């Protein structure tokens, strides 16, 4: 078992601030109880600020939604937040271990987390915000938006995408045994799904626009999927795109022309993006850059152009969200924590 002992946690001996009553103003409301949102809350607590976290789902709802058999690419120590050690049976933890860890880390800090509260709006101004949810209102001096992007699949925008046999999320392969399944996409999530489906008895076809797999595929997956394709156990169309989905089939535009592929189910695992409509609704400007949208913020503090509203994690990366992982985004929490402390507890 690997256990990392982080000095900052061992040095953290202050008792967490008891939760305030619902009608009392808190220093910070963090929207999103994922690893980055929790890390931001912990950084604020360490600075002596009062914090409340809200989420439309459960704690680390995104990780809960990952495929059941997920193993992280990062080692446990790189997934730690708040200096809380992450014990893991192997160097690279599983989805189950991560859910347990983040839940216990939140408890260690005594975080006031309100689960299953969907954000409606943030009104008011810097120093006097009202965060409206489906369960009421929360008053805060500052707000941190850390909603991630897993809830917003990047659509392929083809006819049939909304049919019931099409999904943008994959859980496990067992229900698809002895069925024809097509996986759209060529990154880690698509490769993992294709391999699990194959091993659970599905007849798998992959469709991807790239001419080859990226070298960013998890190193233990790349030779596996390449060998399955070479042997014919998994069919793959490289340099191809799906153009239409119908009950029982999918049309693939391949380099050799259109191909009709049998498909009882289709997994469109083509990535995710931040909730741009929500970000705009909250008053943040989104710049349309040559490579895609980017919410406007100060990179030195992660404060958006709406004063008092901070962006953490992938919501600050916009079109570059695919490059922001937990081990990178958790550093946002340190920066935001210092900025919040400087603004709310000046010397």
Count of C-beta atoms within a 10 Å radius of residue 332: 25
* 88-109 residue pLDDT tens: 988 899 999 999 999 999 999 9
- In a 3-state reduction of DSSP, which class is residue 239? coil
Close Cβ partners of 346 (under 8 Å, ≥ 6 residues apart): none
Coil/strand/helix, residue 145: strand
H-state helical runs in 268-346: 276-281, 326-344
pLDDT tens column, 298-328: 999 999 999 999 999 888 875 555 554 566 6
- Contact yes or no for 174/62 (Cβ under 8 A): no
The pLDDT, as a whole number, for residue 293 is 86
pLDDT, residue 318, reads 59
Q: Are 185 and 270 in contact (CB under 8 A)?
A: yes
Do 149 and 295 contact (CB within 8 A), yes or no?
no
| Nearest of 151, 152, 156 to residue 266 by alpha carbon | 156
Q: Could you tell me if residue 40 is left (phi over 0), alpha (psi between -120 and 50 degrees) or otherwise beta?
A: alpha
- Report the percentage of the chain scoring pLDDT > 70: 91
| Confidence (pTM) | 0.88
- Give the DSSP per-residue string, 64-130: HTS-TT-B-SS-HHHH--TT----BSSSS-BHHHHHHHHHHHHHHTT--EE-S--EEEEEEETTEEE
> What's the CA gap between 227 and 160, in Å, rounded?
31
Higher-scoring residue by pLDDT: 11, 52: 52
pLDDT exceeding 90 applies to what percent of the chain?
76
3-class secondary structure, 346: coil
The helix/strand/coil state of 144 is strand
Contact 311/295 with Cβ under 8 angstroms? yes
Lowest model confidence (mean pLDDT) among 4-18, 101-115, 174-188, 267-281:
4-18
Distance CA 113, CA 233 (A): 46
**CA dihedral over 190, 39, 330, 88, signed as positive or negative:** negative
What is the C-alpha to C-alpha distance for residues 247 and 155, in angstroms, rounded to an integer? 19
pLDDT at res. 346 = 75
């Amino acid at each position: 078992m690997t256990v990392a002992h982080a000095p900052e946690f061992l040095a953290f001996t202050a008792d967490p601030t008891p939760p305030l009553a619902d009608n009392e103003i808190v220093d910070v409301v963090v929207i999103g109880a994922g690893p980055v949102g929790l890390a931001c809350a912990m950084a604020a607590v360490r600075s002596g600020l009062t914090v409340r976290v809200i989420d439309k789902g459960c704690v680390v709802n995104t990780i809960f939604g990952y495929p059941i058999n997920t193993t992280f690419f990062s080692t446990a120590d790189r997934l730690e937040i708040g200096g809380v050690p992450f014990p893991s049976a192997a160097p690279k933890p599983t989805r189950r271990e991560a859910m347990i860890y983040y839940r216990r880390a939140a408890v260690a800090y005594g975080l006031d987390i309100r689960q299953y509260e969907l954000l409606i709006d943030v009104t008011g101004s810097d120093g006097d915000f009202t965060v409206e949810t489906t369960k009421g209102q929360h008053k805060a001096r500052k707000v941190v938006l850390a909603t991630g992007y897993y809830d917003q699949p990047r659509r392929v925008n083809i006819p049939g995408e909304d049919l019931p046999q099409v999904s943008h999320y994959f859980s496990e392969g067992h229900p698809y045994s002895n069925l024809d399944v097509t996986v759209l996409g060529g990154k880690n999530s698509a490769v993992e799904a294709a391999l699990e489906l194959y091993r659970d008895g599905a007849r798998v076809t992959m469709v991807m626009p790239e001419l080859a797999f990226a070298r960013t595929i998890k190193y233990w997956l790349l030779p596996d999927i390449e060998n399955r394709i070479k042997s014919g156990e998994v069919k793959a169309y490289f340099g191809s795109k799906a153009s239409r989905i119908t009950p029982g089939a999918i049309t693939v535009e391949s380099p050799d022309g259109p191909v009709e592929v049998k498909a009882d189910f289709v997994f469109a695992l083509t990535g995710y993006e931040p909730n741009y409509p929500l970000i705009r609704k909250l008053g943040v400007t989104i710049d349309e850059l040559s490579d895609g949208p980017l919410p406007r913020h100060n990179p030195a503090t992660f404060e958006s152009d709406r004063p008092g509203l901070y962006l953490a994690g992938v919501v600050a990366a916009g079109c570059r969200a695919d490059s922001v992982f937990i081990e990178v985004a958790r550093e946002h929490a340190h920066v935001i924590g210092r900025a919040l402390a400087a603004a709310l507890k000046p010397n």
